[in-house]
Amino acid sequence: MPTFNPVKPGEKIDLSKLDPADSSFFEEGKKEGKKQLTKLTEKLEILQELFYAHGKHRLLIVLQAMDTGGKDGVIRHVFEGVNPQGVSVANFKVPTPEELSHDYLWRIHKQTPSAGEIVIFNRSHYEDVLVVRVKNMVDKHVWSRRFDQINAFEKMLSEEGTIILKFFLHISKDEQKQRLQERLDDPSKHWKFNPGDLKDRALWDEYMHAYEDVLSRTSTAWAPWYIIPSDRKWLRSLIIADILVKTLEGLNMTLPDRTEELSHITIE
């Protein structure tokens, strides 16, 4: 598969010009795509085990999207085969009073991965320049300086040994409508329906604008943003799996050779 490129630092982003159903990355269709995805998740399983055993790097994956964008789906379909030991998901919901009494990166930093660990952020510190901005929860002078703060924070993490990959799951407003309707129509999906999502939907354009700023200002060499066309679920998962596999393979991890050391051991 070709390489899927991240946003270039500072690149102007117009999300309305990027087709959420774009399939140019993989044109062989859904059936073949799902086959490839299975192959990639099998590779990922092996690579994650190596990552854990190797124990030198940390991997932080940030997932951001509008509601129904597919964050849960990515976690399920890309990571399903992976050993839960060494992989964890951090969900960032509305901050608790304790979290609110600290700076917004406090709860984030706590959940960053340790050596050999992969942590997936289901929402993240980016909410502090997205929902917080769109809903005017803090003044502009407060959220606007957070771009630099976030870049500095992620740079430190990166310099100290954390690999960071950030995925924006880009869906169309029509696709969201359809997915929300499915949740309404199917009683087994009712638990997923949150009337509050409709309020965010009404602010769609404001969110897109806020996302454009995030993508343009916080995609860096050390923590790139990938805009994933996500109207097709299989394609979205396929692209992400491919980026993950390529990133992990690029680490050229090998297990320490302990043959010599262990050859002297006799178990009585």
Applying CB under 8 A, the residues found at the interface with a second copy are: 58, 98, 101-106, 109-110, 112-117, 142, 145, 149, 152-153, 155-157, 159-162
| 12 vs 215: CA distance, rounded Å | 8
Rounded to the nearest 10°, the torsion over CA 125, 108, 171, 25 is 110
Q: Which is nearer to a second copy, 137 or 198 (CB)?
A: 137
| 131 vs 66: CA distance, rounded Å | 10
State in angstroms the smallest separation of the CB of 188 from a second copy: 40
Distances, alpha carbon 54 to alpha carbons 71, 164, 226, 246, 252, in Å: 28, 18, 26, 17, 10
| 240 vs 40: CA distance, rounded Å | 10
State in angstroms the smallest separation of the CB of 162 from a second copy: 7
Q: Which is nearer to a second copy, 104 or 207 (CB)?
A: 104
| 185 vs 86: CA distance, rounded Å | 37
Q: Which is nearer to a second copy, 55 or 73 (CB)?
A: 55
Handedness of CA 45, 49, 52, 54 (dihedral sign): negative
Q: Which is nearer to a second copy, 61 or 66 (CB)?
A: 61
Extract the tokens encoding 199: 């309020």
State in angstroms the smallest separation of the CB of 109 from a second copy: 4
Residue 6 gets which letter from DSSP? P
Q: Which is nearer to a second copy, 116 or 229 (CB)?
A: 116
Q: Which is nearer to a second copy, 101 or 252 (CB)?
A: 101
State in angstroms the smallest separation of the CB of 243 from a second copy: 23
How, if at all, do strands 87-91 and 162-170 pair?
A: unpaired
